[in-house]
Chains A and B, each alone.
Chain A
């Protein structure tokens, strides 16, 4: 297995700004890259998890006798076998490692087994007898908010209640539009299922875990707490990560796997099935949002008022942070002074929800963009015009009182998107795969109506509300080769290639070796919140610069120059004031320079009770225009084209940028027209890829993308994070296009066929 190699080709120098190729690319195409599910060990056991079939029940009794009798079963563990803290959680530690007396969602872990074969595990799980007493299921957000509803958890039924009041909250506009919007529960549906392999230390003094995660150090902290071990006794190594999108920020199988390994003294591998994965990780919060927008006669926004409710399901995960993001982004990328907003994140017996690409902003954007279209209609303006008249710019103040000091080219994003040519009018034959309905041959060309819709969004970058966020990286230069060490989870986004590009650019080296990604260095923080380019990129940049300073000192000493007059040009060190030119490979011969750098972003603060405070670090913006063909009679949709212009700061790698844009758009398309975890009174109805539908190659639209490249002075590399914005406003753009094609006031996403073609 070859998870990191040096590079794949070297025709041109793959520095910042070029489409440098991923170092793991070839190995991935050859099936030679080790994902976390690909690890095996001598004498290894398999582990599996027993989960609740009920969304809310009291556990009356557990009888594992029959399971113990199955040959090949090595251990069975329950809540009482957790040696340390019984619960875990990213923000609030409220989720049991194993349910003890009560289960609060369908799929909650109750026990785990280790055995010689996955099939033995399955039989053992089936043989554990549990008697449940089913309890009333709290599935409704309004009931959860109602103080008279009995709490389903000692921490209560509301994870967070937040309001924002700004300016003159009583101001009344000339034009008022109002709407209620519903967002379904989306799954991250990464392809590489949860998997981990734990190796116990001799005597059980510690454990090493190879795992696919977004945040090694946070995992380690939570695992160590639950194991009752010092964090340094728990060593994490990043197994290859098959996508993440937020779903690997929380603990899933980590503690269980370590416990099984420590209990048996043997390596244990746990690997979820797709069905289990739906129960094993958090999802995007479903929600309901009601907004009333006030504008003056010229279409200038005067006030936004309303409420937002997000359902966090049974346990806290990141619900409180998602809610903060949600409410603070209800404003959208529009200048406006006055607001009165209120938001709740609820606890119910539905599946736990937490981080997913867009993190609360997807929900907010779906609502505010629906409102902007209503405003356009009410004012007789085009969707583009109403957005341009309100487009936020650098220096504008948010409802929270925070001034947007990031680059904020909102109007430019809209205008450049608008300038992208529309696709050709449809010219389909009957039964064409390009028609809505695709291979089902449902539609004839005469049934198709085309629609165009818009979505524009603002997204915060990095963590918020005073979180002490940092990323560490180490750079070692020896004999012309740079070696980088960091704990940054590479989940597919391409940080590994970016890190190499930074080192090549700063140090003038060609060969950049990437050390193992593990906990043998300080935390890099989470690969989420569009933060790693900024944070870990900043750390690698800082470490490389420190190394370069020392290299310059060496060279300056040898040549009797002032180090400050040296610079790297290509692969040489040059004297900016004289003739000296030394290849870096030569200058670093026999040297070993190592530097570690900790990058921090500027501090943020918590919101006060009126939602005031500089809670976010920075912002990025994007515009999307969707063109759809709709079979209005059958309610089937084909997304034809997505045009987009995205505010990205400095472009560091055009190829990976495009990959983030196109990939995010496909996920936003999924939420618009097909992706939803269907939950009925806490029961998940579609935990499989047969019924949770992801876009296929025949559903993917043509994407025309323009990066809006404006150097961001706040960012270490001038570059903004680009991961989340692509998936945010594309969903409302597609739904707006469906409204445009059908004339229907569709207010929920995903849009189902019946929402388009049946009476409401």
Chain B
């Protein structure tokens, strides 16, 4: 059993990270950003209604603003910074850029995590499946059209590569 007060360790992107002197109410999003310096996850609503803070918690895509930081002990956390191990953009990231799915970019990290998670589970989603899977990620700039185009491209490229 773990008794976590303001001091606990998290496993983030495969690394054990120390959290010290924290306030009990800090969300995982706050801890990632302000304590661990991982600024890639974005906060835009603090209530799980925008998806900008999406991370993988034990392989599930969740809103990190709704995870109590201290409750993430014992779990694997993967953030946008941990998606591409050596800093090279993933196929999803490249497709987002090349298809104009990025404008202001604030929703982008969360969407990229959500798209990776979707394609991990469903390598060939239908258009409506993609829309449903991304319905928790609000984008205010693009109207989503270019995001769908990016997803379709990745699906097609991966299929081609698998042949």
Contacts and interface: CB of A to CB of B under 8 A. Distances in A.
Touch between chains A and B, by CB atoms below 8 Å = yes
Interface in B98-155: 98-100, 102-109, 112, 128, 130-132, 134-148
A662 B42 contact: no
A689 B145 contact: no
A354 interface: no
Contact of A242 (B80, B104, B143): B104
Contact of A697 (B81, B100, B144): B144
A638 to B, nearest CB: 12
A241 B106 CA distance: 8
A505 to B, nearest CB: 20
B131 A274 contact: no
Which among B87, B99, B135 has the greatest number of chain A C-beta atoms within 10 A?
A: B135
B110 to A, nearest CB: 9
A696 interface: yes
A35 B106 contact: yes
A117 B26 CA distance: 11
Interface stretch (A22-30, A342-350, A414-422): A22-30
A242 to B, nearest CB: 3
Given A25-B102, A240-B105, A433 B143 contact: no
A433 B108 contact: no
Given A26-B89, A191-B44, A433 B128 contact: yes
Interface string B41-57: 11111110110100000
A663 B141 contact: yes
Contacts of B30: 118
Nearest to B130: A697
Given A26-B89, A662-B145, A689 B138 contact: yes
A233 to B, nearest CB: 29
B44 A192 contact: yes
Interface residues of A, number: 64
Interface string A488-515: 0001111000000000000000000000
A404 interface: no
Given A30-B80, A433-B128, A690 B97 contact: no
B89 A29 contact: yes
Interface in A392-451: 432-434, 439
A665 interface: yes
Interface stretch (A164-172, A462-470, A652-660): A652-660
A243 B104 contact: yes
Given A659-B103, A659-B146, A26 B93 contact: yes
A189 B140 contact: yes
Contacts of A118: 30
A119 B52 CA distance: 22
A694 B97 contact: no
A659 B146 CA distance: 7
Given A26-B93, A192-B42, A242-B42, A492 B103 contact: yes
Interface in A278-318: none
Contacts of A1: 39
Contacts of B130: 697
A611 B26 CA distance: 56
B104 A190 contact: yes
B40 A30 contact: yes
Nearest to A9: B98
Contacts of A698: 131-132, 135
Given A190-B140, A690-B47, A492 B105 contact: yes
Looking at chain A's contact residues, the main secondary structure is loop
Given A35-B42, A274-B45, A662-B144, A29 B104 contact: no
A703 interface: yes
A697 B106 CA distance: 16
Contacts of B64: none
A555 interface: no
A516 interface: no
Which among B25, B38, B103 has the greatest number of chain A C-beta atoms within 10 A?
A: B103
A34 B130 CA distance: 28
A242 B105 contact: yes
Which among A9, A30, A658, A688 has the greatest number of chain B C-beta atoms within 10 A?
A: A30
A30 B146 contact: no
A697 B97 contact: no
A65 interface: no
Given A29-B89, A700-B143, A688 B25 contact: no
A191 B107 contact: yes
A31 B104 contact: no
Given A433-B131, A439-B132, A29 B140 contact: no
Given A119-B23, A240-B105, A663-B103, A26 B97 contact: yes
Interface in A8-37: 8-9, 19, 21-22, 24-26, 28-35, 37
18 contacts: A25-B105, A29-B93, A30-B81, A30-B84, A31-B42, A31-B79, A32-B81, A40-B34, A191-B42, A191-B107, A655-B99, A658-B100, A659-B141, A690-B47, A695-B143, A696-B138, A697-B134, A697-B137
Given A118-B30, A700-B143, A703-B145, 20 more contacts: A1-B39, A26-B89, A30-B89, A31-B80, A32-B40, A35-B42, A119-B26, A191-B106, A192-B106, A193-B43, A274-B47, A433-B131, A433-B132, A439-B132, A663-B140, A667-B140, A689-B44, A689-B50, A696-B138, A703-B143
Interface of A: 1, 8-9, 19, 21-22, 24-26, 28-35, 37-38, 40, 117-119, 189-193, 240-245, 273-274, 432-434, 439, 491-494, 655-656, 658-659, 662-667, 688-690, 694-698, 700, 703
